[in-house]
Structure 1
Amino acid sequence: MTASDSSVTTARQAAAAAADKLAHDIVGLDVSERMALADIFLIASAESERQVNAIVDGIEAALASHDRRPVRREGRSGGRWVLLDYSDIIIHVQHEEDRVFYALERLWKDCPVVDLELGDDPSAKKAVPSAGTDAENDAQPAEQA
């Protein structure tokens, strides 16, 4: 048994909303074979408590536009680890320090990863040279002067 199509769709919508609010290390885990209560755990990190809350707001707004509302929300006041329970998916937005400490991915390492279709490769972003580098300036034809 794998996660339902509707759960995967919801997870992708939530992941896109989290990415729009600059969440990083966004991972979806198919926990449907290990847990009867949910199909997917979605985990995202943020650098500050303020950003955790902004990501949560973005996710809730995005899913509300698809008539989805959490049945339970925990941790909002602290802003370190917020859990949004949508029954079929459970979303964890964690401060990056808490994510390293609690290591949810390690606890659920035997569960398959869900393709969230975010289409971003962080290593590719680092490889893109910034505009106006010396190498680009040296490549300019001399007659432009």
Structure 2
Amino acid sequence: MTATESSVTIARHAARAAADKIAEDIVALDVSERLALTDIFLIASAPTERQVNAIVDGIEEELLKRDLRPVRREGRSEGRWVLLDYADVVIHVQHAEDRVFYALERLWKDCPVVDLELGDDPSSKAVSGSGGA
């Protein structure tokens, strides 16, 4: 089982919004075979708490245009690791230091990477994968 096309579409919209706010290292992992609760983890980072919150704002604004609201939001007040849970897509926006420390990509390294179709955006290291795209 791979991520649904609707999940991939949500992740791509969120990734573009994050890229517009200069997020770094934007990656989407298809966790659908490992987790029953969600299809995709989208991970992005920024060097400051203020930028983490700006990225979160940009993602929420973009997805709200599509009538999508997070089921749950955590970590907003600290601006270090904000989690936005859209059910099928869980978005992690982390301070760069926290991202290195927690290393989510390493924990989920056996999951395929989803092609976010961000083109030549240098802030993204997304590559083609079998994430249903």
Letter in structure 1 aligned against 2:57: D
Match of 2:56 in 1: 56
Deviation for aligned residue 1:122? 2.7
Note the alpha carbon deviations across 1:59-90, whole angstroms, 9 max, x for none: 00000000000000000000000000000000
Deviation for aligned residue 1:121? 4.9
Letter in structure 2 aligned against 1:39: D
Q: How does 1:117-132 map to 2 (within 5 A)?
A: 117-122=117-122
Match of 2:44 in 1: 44
Asked which structure has the greater RCO (Cα within 8 Å, sep 6+), the reply is 2
1:12 partnered with 2:18: no
Secondary structure at the counterpart of residue 79 of structure 1 = coil
Note the alpha carbon deviations across 1:78-121, whole angstroms, 9 max, x for none: 00000000000000000000000000000000000000000125
Q: How does 1:102-141 map to 2 (within 5 A)?
A: 102-122=102-122
Secondary structure at the counterpart of residue 90 of structure 1 = strand
* Unaligned runs of at least 5 residues, structure 2: 124-133
Q: Distance in 2 between matches of 1:42 and 1:27?
A: 6
* Unaligned runs of at least 5 residues, structure 1: 124-145
Letter in structure 1 aligned against 2:92: H
Q: Distance in 1 between matches of 2:36 and 2:30?
A: 12
Identify the structure with the greater helix proportion: 1
Q: Distance in 2 between matches of 1:34 and 1:6?
A: 18
Match of 2:33 in 1: 33
Match of 2:97 in 1: 97
What's the TM-score, normalizing by structure 2?
A: 0.91
Match of 2:72 in 1: 72
Compare CA radii of gyration and give the structure with the larger one: 1
Q: Distance in 2 between matches of 1:16 and 1:122?
A: 13
Measured on the aligned residues, the alpha-carbon RMSD in Å equals 1.0
**What is the number of equivalent residue pairs in this alignment?**
123
Secondary structure at the counterpart of residue 35 of structure 1 = coil
What's the TM-score, normalizing by structure 1?
A: 0.83
Secondary structure at the counterpart of residue 113 of structure 1 = coil
Letter in structure 1 aligned against 2:22: L
Runs (4 or more) in structure 1 with deviation over 6 Å come to none
Deviation for aligned residue 1:48? 0.2
Secondary structure at the counterpart of residue 66 of structure 2 = coil
Secondary structure at the counterpart of residue 122 of structure 1 = coil
Letter in structure 2 aligned against 1:53: N
